[in-house]
Structure 1
Amino acid sequence: MNVESNAAKGADQEERTGRFEAKRERIVSAAAELINERGVKGMTFVDVGRMVDLNTTSIAYYFKRKDRLAEAVFHRTLERIEREVDEAGTEPTPQARVRRYLELSFERIAAQREGTHPPEAQLSDIRAMPEDTRERLLGEFVRMFRKVRRFFGETDDPVGHADLTARAHIFLEFTYWLPVLLSDYSRTDFGRLHERSFELMRLGLAAGGRQAEALDLPVPARVESDGPERGLGDFLEAATRLINERGYRGASVERIASQLNVTKGSFYHHLAAKDDLVMKCFAASYDRVSAVQRLALAEEGSFLDRIASSVFSLVHAQFDGDRPLLRTTAMGVLPPRMQQLVLERSDWMARRFAGMMIDGIAQGSVRAIDPLVASQLAMVMLNAAWDLRGWAGRRDMALATRLYTAPLLHGFFGPPAGS
């Protein structure tokens, strides 16, 4: 009798545990959606409760504080990434490891589209977490990143190690951007896009063993205006640096004004609100990209060299940090209509790169790649360069820029530089 009673109690406990975990996962999924829409600061127990039909007291039963819920959201994403990295890492070669991880990424995105995989928060908002939590999550990220870097090989040579870091960083950033890229495609296209993405990473843009030669482009001039717009450029550059470093909510009006040694009133003389600020920062960044692309198109040389010149110039600007480009992740805090405008403008820049690639294919300097995929990889690479400015600052800037742009131009799988 005791045996039967204990078995019944055990089964009941398992059922209760299963219900607890299922409800906890629903809460985490709801919080992930809200973080993607509003950022960590904008996610509240009240809104999470509405999404899962629970009151705030019930939410607090599972997570005592909002930052603990946000941490669980990011931890779940990092745990999933590391699990897939470990699976791909068992493959025998760098190419097989990258192919397998790409395959897992495409499968997950397809499952999310079908509703069979839970939503996940973008990792960029980790920077908005309290310092102790941020450090724990960054520790998880660094451990995972080191495993991805080993996808491409290992070396004791400092330059070679830097080369592998650049490859891993760009590769991961591309996989983070895949849900946006694939949103324009049918699920039936995923197999082809997986193959085209892998082939691009395997061989790069350059055709037939060509070496891309970056042309020496003139630096686009700052556009100065008279009247009320005069001085706006200084605000936008300061705001762009702060948003890239601290996220939208961490780049307060007070911090921006303090960097420029002006008053808050001066800020509001130029800008009506922070959403207006972000939109103008994006516009300024995309104006920079357009200006560099136009300068490259005006130069003599192959289209491969013109593409190399564009990305080399823009990556160098990101590493230098004086006039950086605003990270695309900042658009997550904007209202949907503004997000759409930002993505449309980004697509214009990507399509100009795609046009240069198509002309390069016709010319014979660029391989027969999918220019839509390749142009998105170029935009991802530019966007992600800001994160490696410290990495770039520890070595010769020209060398750092060459290492960072090489995967797009010549593929991810050559021997590490310096080996």
Structure 2
Amino acid sequence: MPDASPTAPRQTKRFEQKREAILDAAAKRFNERGIRGTSLADVSSGVGLMTNSITYYYRRKEDLAAACFLAKIGWLDALIGEAEGAGPPEARLRTFLDLYCRGLAAMATGERPALIRFHDVRALPSPQAETVFAAYNGFFRRMRALCLEADAVPDLDRVARNTRTHLLVSVVQTMRVWIDRYEPNDYPRVGARVADLLLRGLAGPASPWPPARALAVPPQETAALETAPGDAFLRAATILINEQGYRGASVEKISAHLRVTKGSFYHHNDNKDDLVAHCFARTFDRIRRAQDAADAAGGTGWERITAATGTLVRHQLSESGPLLRWIAVGALPEGLRADVTRTMQRLWERVAFPIADGIADGSIRPCDPSMAAQVVNSAIDAASELDRWARDIDGAAAQANYVFPLFAGLYAPPPR
């Protein structure tokens, strides 16, 4: 996408340096506040420029956001280019993740400019959205060719290759959420362990597939429903927050999604923030009940983790789904963000318990339980977008094409 200034400025070295500084400051602001919550004035204050000076490079905020996304995709494409010569697909995947984590470490220490996260990409309007989505789709295809080329795993059809690529890309992107708990010098070590989890899965030598135990999740208690908004409002708000962030999911858009008036919205909801809080409470309740049901059912660690994961992935694709994604937390107001982040982190850490138990009972191979939990959580979180890459996929197909490679490894032959 060209810079949206009336006349293209001369591309001098100083111009490029200033443009890189603007993109760095903009990426940081967009990551903190989302596209809707950031202004050109916010960005200009980060680089010591007047707002009018920013418009010399990018006329509109949306042009600047699109340039940030395209810079991020360009960086990922460059990593793919470096990894292409590493040998077979498994080696290329390891090389890509090593390069990716070294890049994240350089950003964490300030050695290279920050890059925007993809969590707010659907908040872009037209025509910027079409440009960025086309570039992202190109990146997805290159990632699929890099690690899941047609002959990498025999008997995989296009849907299976797309779902496995979505699993890989989602785990990679979500690493930015949790990798900062480690020292930047250790980021390459984290990348190596995540690569091992993706390639080899979690299954122990005799772990059965499909899991023999079906999971019965009890319904939400009636008392918790008495003060909650109608499920239609909760689901509509959840979908829009996942797509466009907190600020992008306006009262007008939620009402339009349900084809009701704003008056009807305020008849059922006191305000938007209360509705968003109920959406997170609904998501947390669903995750917690699935985890509790898996523990109550008993069995090996393998049986519990696969049962809970399969149940939550099916929920994402059901009429009562989706769950709110982790990326929705980033642009929340300060008053909501702290408590939501704490609860989300606790529920994600809880996934490590059945993994550790499975390692102890032999049903899960030895691995890092904490990192394995993050990989599993990333897959559950990203399942809400699975149907974008595999049209009309249902729970059974997701179990075979998405949950199975998560636990058996990306290059495991498809289950019978």
> What does residue 160 of structure 1 align with?
157
The one of 79, 88, 93 equivalent to 1:93 is: 88
- Tell whether 2:79 aligns with 1:73: no
The one of 397, 400, 410 equivalent to 1:399 is: 397
Cα 1:56–1:259 shift into 2, 3 Å: closer
> What does residue 3 of structure 1 align with?
none
> What does residue 410 of structure 2 align with?
412
Cα 1:251–1:352 shift into 2, 3 Å: same
| Contact 1:358/1:371, CA 8 A, preserved across alignment | yes
| Contact 1:95/1:202, CA 8 A, preserved across alignment | yes
- Tell whether 2:354 aligns with 1:359: no
User: In the TM superposition, what is the alpha-carbon distance from 1:194 to its structure 2 partner?
Assistant: 2.6
The one of 241, 248, 251 equivalent to 2:249 is: 251
Q: Could you tell me how far apart the structure 2 residues matched to 1:188 and 1:53 are?
A: 31
Q: Could you tell me how far apart the structure 1 residues matched to 2:351 and 2:77 are?
A: 32
Residues 133-164 of structure 1: CA deviation (Å, up to 9, x unaligned): 11111111111111111212215998532222
Q: Could you tell me how far apart the structure 1 residues matched to 2:264 and 2:227 are?
A: 11
Quick one: which amino acid aligns to residue 329 of structure 1?
A: I
> What does residue 240 of structure 2 align with?
242
Moved more, 351-360 or 320-329: 320-329
The one of 192, 201, 207 equivalent to 1:210 is: 207
Cα 1:208–1:158 shift into 2, 3 Å: closer
Residues 255-290 of structure 1: CA deviation (Å, up to 9, x unaligned): 334555655355446655434433332221121011
| Contact 1:275/1:334, CA 8 A, preserved across alignment | no
| Contact 2:217/2:293, CA 8 A, preserved across alignment | no
* More helix as a share of residues: 1
The one of 316, 329, 332 equivalent to 2:327 is: 329
Q: Could you tell me how far apart the structure 1 residues matched to 2:161 and 2:408 are?
A: 14
- TM-score, with structure 2 as normaliser: 0.89
User: In the TM superposition, what is the alpha-carbon distance from 1:417 to its structure 2 partner?
Assistant: 6.4
Moved more, 372-381 or 386-395: 386-395
Correspondences of 1:356-395 after superposition (within 5 Å):
356-395=354-393
State the structure with more CA Rg.
1
> What does residue 4 of structure 2 align with?
none
- Tell whether 2:9 aligns with 1:52: no
Q: Could you tell me how far apart the structure 2 residues matched to 1:279 and 1:118 are?
A: 34
Q: Could you tell me how far apart the structure 2 residues matched to 1:132 and 1:92 are?
A: 39
Quick one: which amino acid aligns to residue 132 of structure 1?
A: P
> What does residue 104 of structure 1 align with?
99
User: In the TM superposition, what is the alpha-carbon distance from 1:92 to its structure 2 partner?
Assistant: 1.5
The one of 342, 347, 368 equivalent to 1:344 is: 342
> What does residue 11 of structure 1 align with?
none
Structure 1 vs Structure 2 CA RMSD: 2.5
Correspondences of 1:215-230 after superposition (within 5 Å):
215-225=213-223, 229-230=227-228
Length, aligned pairs only? 404
Q: Could you tell me how far apart the structure 2 residues matched to 1:126 and 1:258 are?
A: 21
> What does residue 123 of structure 2 align with?
128
Cα 1:337–1:106 shift into 2, 3 Å: farther
> What does residue 30 of structure 1 align with?
25
| Contact 1:353/1:375, CA 8 A, preserved across alignment | yes
Correspondences of 1:244-323 after superposition (within 5 Å):
244-260=242-258, 263-265=261-263, 267-268=265-266, 271-323=269-321
User: In the TM superposition, what is the alpha-carbon distance from 1:364 to its structure 2 partner?
Assistant: 0.8
Residues 342-366 of structure 1: CA deviation (Å, up to 9, x unaligned): 3321222222210011111111101
Residues 292-314 of structure 1: CA deviation (Å, up to 9, x unaligned): 11111111432211111111111
Quick one: which amino acid aligns to residue 362 of structure 1?
A: A
Quick one: which amino acid aligns to residue 71 of structure 2?
A: R
| Contact 1:206/1:212, CA 8 A, preserved across alignment | no
The one of 94, 100, 118 equivalent to 2:113 is: 118
Cα 1:407–1:264 shift into 2, 3 Å: same
Q: Could you tell me how far apart the structure 2 residues matched to 1:191 and 1:227 are?
A: 46
Contiguous gaps of at least 5 residues in structure 2:
1-9
Residues 70-123 of structure 1: CA deviation (Å, up to 9, x unaligned): 111111111001111121122211110110111011101111111011111111
> What does residue 175 of structure 1 align with?
172
Give the SS at the match of 1:116: coil
Give the SS at the match of 1:377: helix
Identity of aligned residues (%): 37
Q: Could you tell me how far apart the structure 2 residues matched to 1:277 and 1:284 are?
A: 10
